[in-house]
Amino acid sequence: MNNRFTLTLHDDNGVKQFNLHRFVKRAILYSLMFLGFIALSAVGTILYLDYSVDKIEQKRLDMELAYKNLELKNLELGQSIAETQKALDEKKDELVEVSDSLSEIELMIGLSHPEDIPLLDRANITKLNSEQMSTLLQYVPSGSPIEYNGITSKFGYRIHPTLNTREFHRGSDMKASMDTPVYATADGIVEYAGLHNKSGYGRLVIIEHNYAFRTYFGHLNKIVIKSGQFIRKGDLIAYTGNTGMSNGPHLHYEIRFISRAINPFWFIKWNIKNYNEIFEKETQIPWQSLIAATARIKVVKPTQTLLSLHQDPQSKEK
């Protein structure tokens, strides 16, 4: 059996022949195959590593993009938190202002609460009391019927300016120039509107209100309402004048309770700010019964008192 083979090499020096054993041939063949495998493996590994690097790079880019998006969201969240905090601070300041304003209203209407009572409960209590006050001020004559410029003749005994006799003056003569607007001081029905020479009031308006109250407006120049007409507090009813037994333009304003004349001055200056004062000044009226009678009545749109629309009268009559 021939276990050898001849390897012939040609070069510039001639031909050379080498006799090699077949085992060496196999070794060389296997070596070449192994090197080929190594080369293929190396190429595959390089390709795989290149692919992996590309994937890693793509992941890195994706992570960078995600990080930038996260940074943007964090920035937006930070701005949102800052804006929310600013809004909360503003709301807190508003609540402090509301609490302070509510405290002023509570003080004004004579309410006091424990310090730990919630603001909403305080507001509800104040609202309830304010509604009750508004109801009473809507139905009972309150506020000035004209722009207040003082009282020229007070309620009570006096010397009549034209008759020169001592008599009881049932109302207050309010200083006013000719054709000053006159407003109703409470809701009611016009009982009389016209010339009333027998009484000396001249052109006179009488309004009948709830709970046995009546108001009289005398010496008017022009009347703009009619008998039987329903009047809301604050409605224009007439203009001041000098009709009847009068020595100059003014408004004779009179309030009667159960047909009995009462001093109108305390009612002229009566409003939400000095709500409790009249209960001490005017003792002829059963206020507790009146308040109880109006406690469950609610005026949907109460009329602003005239004292808040006109000049507030001084604490003393002029």
pLDDT digits (tens, 9 = 90+) for 2-56: 556 566 767 777 777 666 666 666 777 778 888 888 888 888 888 888 888 888 8
Q: CA dist 137 to 158, 170, 201, 253, 317, Å? A: 30, 22, 27, 17, 21
- Chosen domain end from 71, 96, 129: 71
Least confident interval from 63-72, 77-86, 92-101: 92-101
Identify the three-state secondary structure at position 7. strand
The pLDDT assigned to 291 comes to 82
Question: Buried (b) or exposed (e) across 17-35, using 16+ Cβ within 10 A?
Answer: eeeeeeeeeeeeeeeeeee
156, 250: one domain: yes
Residue at 114 is within a domain:
no
Q: Distance between CA atoms of 238 and 183, rounded to whole angstroms?
A: 7
**Which structural domain, as residue segments, surrounds residue 200?**
137-309
Residue 232 is encoded by which pair of tokens? Answer: 């809301």
More confident residue, 128 or 225: 225
Please tell me the pTM assigned to this model: 0.60
> How does residue 110 score in pLDDT terms, banded at 50, 70 and 90?
low
Question: In what helix (H) or strand (E) does residue 121 lie, and over which residues does it extend?
Answer: helix 119-139
150, 270: one domain: yes
49, 159: one domain: no
305, 162: one domain: yes
Residue 144 is encoded by which pair of tokens? Answer: 């000035």
170, 298: one domain: yes
49, 158: one domain: no
- Chosen domain end from 54, 71, 88: 71
Residue at 209 is within a domain:
yes
Per the structure, the count of domains in the chain is 2
> How does residue 113 score in pLDDT terms, banded at 50, 70 and 90?
low
- Chosen domain end from 71, 89, 105: 71
Q: CA dist 64 to 17, 49, 53, 68, 267, Å? A: 66, 22, 16, 6, 79
CATH number of the domain where residue 252 is located: 2.70.70.10
